[in-house]
Structure 1
Amino acid sequence: MKVYFSVLLLLLISSVVHAAEINFQNILQQERAWAGLESKSLKVGDIEWRYSEGGSRTKPTLLLLHGLSGTRDNWNRVARYLTPYYHVIIPDLPAHGETKTPDNFDLSIPNLTEKLRRFADAAQFDPNMHIAGHSMGGAIAMLYAAQYPIEVKSLLLVDAAGVYKSANTPYLKSPEQLRNIVVEKPGDFDRLMKIAMQAPPFIPQELKVAQEKLMITQSKNTHKMVSTLVEMSKLYTPESFAMATRMIDAPVMIVWGKDDQVINVEVAQELHGLFKKSDVPLILNGVGHMPILEAEQLVVQPYLKFLNTIK
């Protein structure tokens, strides 16, 4: 009887967890639809891309890139205000979200950038794009603009990763510290939110558990990504990073959370001084590392005005 009860209890727990996962995916799909996005897939080489697409292809194209351990859904709140006016593309970057890669995939920023270019070409997106990147996605956006200058109309950089002189957080001084914020066991998600956001939005417990479980399953890839970033930090200096940044001709908008604990706000002014065409950085008080989730309207309204100035 005890064995039967234990099996029944395990089946019940399993069904509840499965139902929570289904509900989580349903809510993500609803959020994408609310933002005017559809979920799509495309195989390019050895990468099975999953991405969100919305807005008319007859309108200018925006490519939005998420950060380390993030997903395309980090941009949904911002995308809601963009899809009525632009053709919006938001991929899950390789080894993130639902995009699948081989086990031995090269996760370096240069390779991610090159594979992103192949993805855009295979999907036949307008090659003359506006690109926005958050955190690690910002580093990819900058390299993309430096390598493919005639294909980038503008850049939006939100708390963008890079190699900076004014770095003073543990995660910039020693990228190895990023391992301490990888979600790999229950409880880590709450700890990450306290570091990444100054004022985390309310998340129902059921969805929080499902999100944490998803990130735990991806923790191996996240650790691989951190290892790649650690190696790159040894190869690049603030001077070599600045040299690449100065090559970018596209207009740039910089947004930063004043209370960012991951990439300190002083970096925004340093970046501003490197670009040929950069607006004065927009600094958001009371906001941490995730302005696109913490204060999306404070990001998107100035961004729309910025885009309207691009010819």
Structure 2
Amino acid sequence: MLPFVLLHGLIGPLADARTISLLRPATVVCPDLLGYGTEADADPAGITIEAQIEYVRAITDRTVPDTRVHVVGHSVGGIIAMVFAHRFPHRVASVINVEGNFTLADAFWSAQLARMSPAEVSDLLEADRADPARWLRDGGVEPTEEHLRSAAEALAYQPATTVRAMAQAVVEFTGAAGYEPLLRDVFEHTPVHLVAGERSRPGWSVPAWALTAAASYTEISQSGHMVMLEAPEAFGNKLRKLVDNRNIHQDPRSPA
């Protein structure tokens, strides 16, 4: 089975052990994007979508060289997954886009954060860290003991400077005139599977053309936008099933 590359969103990782265990024996690469986790000390001024793409390319080339991969992107990670597939089509077997941002309408939360001062973003993140149960409830997630542990990890995963820098990068990139043509090109040349949480689907501004062009569309029942936190086993099972049932699509631009 080809490797998976899991790209997390604006808040928290995409590396739950319960999800990863269901993808084995495939190699699963879960990079901490610039500004996150082990890369939390990255200069916020250098955190852009372009920089994240190059960072993912370097990690992919180092950890799973000379093979195609399934790229899974959640939310903001969905942008990175799609752009990675556009820049390096010969490396991508499929994209699994989990409520990734398609338009500025999708990026409404990033747009709000991008307009805030550094102090305002810091205060917001600290308030969420102080009350993870409220943060979960705001996302429609029941604050069970297990969910609270995952929420604490997610909220501690990145500093406020990263959140603000990524939010600004998202708004700049998705608001550019060339973003939709880029997305359409990926759909044309690469199988793109769309995945949504059942509860959060109404808020996902996925264009009709993308639904038509997608290799598949799936909703994960009884879950919302934070599906990786709320339903890691169902998420892992869905990723595995999408790969097992995929139709291999040979990119005409890829080497034979």
Q: TM-score, normalised by structure 2?
A: 0.77
1:109 Cα shift? 1.3
Matched, 1:278 2:215: yes
1:134-163, Cα deviation, whole Å (9 max, x unpaired): 111111101101111111001111111231
1:65 Cα shift? 0.9
2:132 aligned to 163, 176, 189, which one? 189
SS of alignment partner, residue 190 of structure 2:
coil
1:170 Cα shift? 4.7
CA RMSD of aligned residues (A): 3.3
Contact 1:199 1:288 in 2 (8 A): no
1:108 Cα shift? 1.3
1:204 Cα shift? 8.0
SS of alignment partner, residue 93 of structure 1:
coil
Contact 2:48 2:165 in 1 (8 A): no
Aligned equivalents of 1:208, 1:302: Cα separation in 2: 20
Counterpart of 1:290 in structure 2 is: 226
Q: 2:215 is aligned with what amino acid? A: S
For this pair of structures, how many residues does the alignment match? 240
SS of alignment partner, residue 145 of structure 1:
helix
Aligned equivalents of 1:69, 1:120: Cα separation in 2: 22
Runs of 4+ in 1 over 6 A off after TM superposition: none
Contact 1:259 1:288 in 2 (8 A): yes
Counterpart of 2:10 in structure 1 is: 68
Matched, 1:159 2:96: no
Contact 1:258 1:265 in 2 (8 A): no
Aligned equivalents of 1:198, 1:76: Cα separation in 2: 19
User: Which of the pair has the greater relative contact order for Cα pairs under 8 Å at 6+ separation?
Assistant: 2
Q: 1:286 is aligned with what amino acid? A: Q
Aligned equivalents of 1:101, 1:109: Cα separation in 2: 17
Counterpart of 1:302 in structure 2 is: 238
1:243-294, Cα deviation, whole Å (9 max, x unpaired): 1111111212111113228x81352755323x4x521x21234321111222
Contact 2:2 2:67 in 1 (8 A): no
Matches within 5 A, 1:45-124: 59-73=1-15, 75-84=16-25, 86-103=26-43, 105-124=45-64
Instruction: State the percentage of identical aligned residues.
Output: 23
Counterpart of 1:56 in structure 2 is: none
Contact 2:198 2:224 in 1 (8 A): yes
Q: 1:306 is aligned with what amino acid? A: L
Unaligned runs of 5+ in 1: 1-58
Larger Rg belongs to = 1
SS of alignment partner, residue 37 of structure 2:
coil
Counterpart of 1:21 in structure 2 is: none
2:203 aligned to 253, 257, 264, which one? 264
Compared CA separation, residues 150 and 174, structure 1 to 2 (3 A): same
Q: TM-score, normalised by structure 1?
A: 0.65
Counterpart of 2:70 in structure 1 is: 130
1:79 Cα shift? 0.8
Aligned equivalents of 2:72, 2:237: Cα separation in 1: 14
